[in-house]
């Protein structure tokens, strides 16, 4: 009887021992619960190693490059000079007057070639007729120290020499002047009459190259 009871108990004990052994092995290989738990705010990757979402927006944007000022090439500009018309000499149906160009700036400047000349009229300063014809050849450069002047001779043709139907006589208020190689203009008052038409048989204005006064 004793042997019979022992023989029945041995399988149960063995089974229990196996369960305990499996439990022990399983417990040794399981990742600790603390390593899989959600980290506290102080241990958050965002606050320790990884950059936050606002890192990029806090970096100042690169400033734009400053616009370079145009190089000073030493030429006389519209703002460097004062213009005036000299006394006129009449002859052969025309009036000849000198355009006097005076360096009114505080530095030397240089001028060479033909000024751009045209009549302007109306309250908006629109051009009247064709630009002045360039007569002769381009002269040498003229250096103007502050206060010095150069001149360019202008021929004003009497527009009554032209047929009125062709000329379309129009009141003008003066001249628009562009210095050589300059894109900004100056205005010189000279009230009179010009031909609005660009179809006249000839030139109502003619200009010669700049030369020393």
Smallest Cα–Cα separation from 130: which of 197, 209, 208? Answer: 197
pLDDT in tens, 164-209: 999 999 999 999 999 999 999 999 999 999 999 999 999 999 999 9
CB 152 within 8 A of CB 188: no
Which residue is it, tokens 């417990």? Answer: 27
Which residues, 6+ apart, have CB-to-CB distance to 105 below 8 Å?
79, 80, 81, 146
Q: For residue 109, what are its two tokens?
A: 């400047």
Q: Quick one: which H or E segment has residue 209?
A: none
Residue 39 has pLDDT above 70, yes or no: no
For residue 18, the model assigns a pLDDT of: 46
pLDDT in tens, 86-133: 988 988 899 999 999 999 999 999 999 999 999 999 999 999 999 999
pLDDT at 130: 96
């Amino acid at each position: 009887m004793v042997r019979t009871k022992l023989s029945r108990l041995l399988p149960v004990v063995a089974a229990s021992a196996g369960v305990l052994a499996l439990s022990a092995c399983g417990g040794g290989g399981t990742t600790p619960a603390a390593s899989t738990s959600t980290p506290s705010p102080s241990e958050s990757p965002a606050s320790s190693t990884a950059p936050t979402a606002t890192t990029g927006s806090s970096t100042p944007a690169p400033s734009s490059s400053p616009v370079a000022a145009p190089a000073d090439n030493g030429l006389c500009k519209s703002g460097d000079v004062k213009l005036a018309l000299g006394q006129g000499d009449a002859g052969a149906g025309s009036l000849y007057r000198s355009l006097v160009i005076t360096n009114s700036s505080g530095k030397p400047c240089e001028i060479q070639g033909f000024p751009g000349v045209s009549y302007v009229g109306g309250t908006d300063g629109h051009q009247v007729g064709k630009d002045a014809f360039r007569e002769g050849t381009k002269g040498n450069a003229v250096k103007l120290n502050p206060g010095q002047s150069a001149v360019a001779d202008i021929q004003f043709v009497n527009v009554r020499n032209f047929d009125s139907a062709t000329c379309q006589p129009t009141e003008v208020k003066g001249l628009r002047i562009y210095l050589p190689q300059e894109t900004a203009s100056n205005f010189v008052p000279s009230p009179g009459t010009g031909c609005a038409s660009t179809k006249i048989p000839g030139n109502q204005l003619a200009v010669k190259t700049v030369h020393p006064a």
